Chains A and B, each alone.
Chain A
């Protein structure tokens, strides 16, 4: 069906993309300073020498974002639920959760990692870890739990109140209604924004470099400073893209699927 117009569309899309790409390439390439910029940022020699070291250091980032995400997902949900508590006696929990979210969403991550990563170990408390990796993990979990809790909360609040009332009418308690009716529906809706935050988390693992850990960004910086050539940073950018682009596509697809499901078969 409609293959003719599809083929024509494809042709137009390809052509216009080519024209734009050619224009951009020409504009950049015709700049008299381009050879110098190319040598400094896209240098084949430094690309191939930096790739193994930068890729190996990336395993630290991977460990960090996987561990962090495993902690963030449940903690974020707990905070979201704490914020939706309406029982007056439990108000302190709600207030604490609100302050937590306000604080960790409001302060730049880089400042939190400084204070926790350098400040807490300096207290020299027995039994408190000094490992920078540990404090980087703590920082990312705190910040992203705050973000993710808001995603969950938005998801929970997007479920029509009639759902909870119907559940209550069937004799479920408020907790049961949340557990069996509201949260499962909310979950489906929040998966795309959660993945979005997961991508943000992956990129923010570069923050651990501040604490002296030689992860991929720091490794690239070391190589850059040794050679006065910026190509190793481009190598790292490429590695991040290889991980994040498929994930972005997955988010798009899930969002589209969700949209279709919402429309209930009107395709």
Chain B
């Protein structure tokens, strides 16, 4: 009898204590986060393949997400074991703009094709704390100051411009100005700077729809749930040509492009490799390789009118 009573009597405060402690731990966990200072990128410029600190010695481990989309990765996936399914591309082929740039960087670092391996890294995994499983991650990641607190970025290898694509019959199909896009229900993929472009440049009256993948945004546009998609310009062309029926390019948003936003290679925070990758990209810019690859994989897809 008295044991039963005692248990109910202490049960309440004890539970309260646990809750309070949990809250206290959360608050404590939140405090003092500025205390840790990450080491700055190594200035050691010894970038010979044998002196690089790699995940696997002698092999450059490259990484991207799955699926790998055109025009960033191309060439299909015949014989692939990981990047399988229609419209997916095996990065091992070294085709598509990012695929080709990845191999060009590898070559400048001194790795022949057979000394390069590819692994899958989900977008969120690429910036999760802890040791990375890759040396370089390339997945159309835009360089931003906040993001650079979690990981290292190389210098940019692509100037991003944001574009708008829709389908025939959509209320914005004939739009030529940003004013005409304001009433539209626009959609994009989560984690993209396209979302920022919608919020900051178009400033629509309706909350944009934000999907987990661009495929779902395409499905929603096909189903008439949204009026248009904002994505980087090459992706809008790919959607028009391969994914949408009756796709229409509205144009490129003014204020994007011109180097305002760039894709960079993601590396582990403080990676000694970052400086070497930057040197490699510098060399690719100087010898015209980057321009040539741009023309080969993206330049041919046409140009979009600027929407003001």
Contact = CB atoms under 8 A, between A and B. Distances in A.
Contacts of A228: 127, 146-147, 149-151
Interface in A199-239: 209-214, 218, 221-222, 224-231, 234, 238
A229 B269 CA distance: 13
Interface string B101-141: 00000000000000000000001100111100000000000
Interface in B1-49: 2, 5-7, 9-10, 13-14, 17-19, 21, 25-26, 29-33, 35-36
B33 A222 contact: no
Size band of the interface chain B makes with A: 35 or more
Nearest to A213: B209
Interface stretch (B91-99, B214-222, B291-299): B214-222
B168 interface: no
Interface centre among A10, A36, A118, A212 (most CB of B within 10 A): A212
A122 B33 contact: no
Contacts, number: 149
Contact of A1 (B5, B32, B130): B5
Interface stretch (B63-71, B74-82, B188-196, B231-239): B188-196
B154 to A, nearest CB: 15
Contacts of A17: 14, 17-18, 21
A21 B217 contact: no
B212 interface: yes
Contacts of B224: 121, 124, 130
A35 B18 CA distance: 24
Nearest to B225: A130
Contact of B9 (A6, A35, A131, A212): A6
A214 B185 CA distance: 13
A83 B208 CA distance: 43
Contacts of A9: 6-7, 9-10
A44 B33 contact: yes
Given A5-B6, A225-B191, A42 B150 contact: no
A6 B33 contact: no
A42 B209 contact: no
A47 B223 CA distance: 36
Nearest to A219: B210
B187 interface: yes
A38 B14 CA distance: 27
B211 interface: yes
Contacts of A6: 5-6, 9-10
A160 interface: no
Nearest to B28: A25
Contact of B149 (A35, A118, A209, A229): A229
B226 interface: yes
B28 to A, nearest CB: 8
Contacts of A90: none
A40 interface: yes
B55 interface: no
A103 to B, nearest CB: 23
7 contacts: A9-B10, A38-B36, A41-B129, A212-B187, A212-B209, A226-B146, A245-B19
Interface of A: 1-2, 5-6, 9-10, 13-14, 17-18, 21, 25, 33, 35-45, 47, 118, 121-122, 124, 130-132, 209-214, 218, 221-222, 224-231, 234, 238, 245
8 closest Cβ pairs, A-B complex: A225-B191, A212-B209, A35-B36, A42-B29, A228-B127, A122-B223, A13-B14, A228-B150
Given A21-B25, A212-B210, 8 more contacts: A10-B13, A39-B36, A40-B129, A118-B220, A214-B208, A222-B191, A227-B149, A228-B147
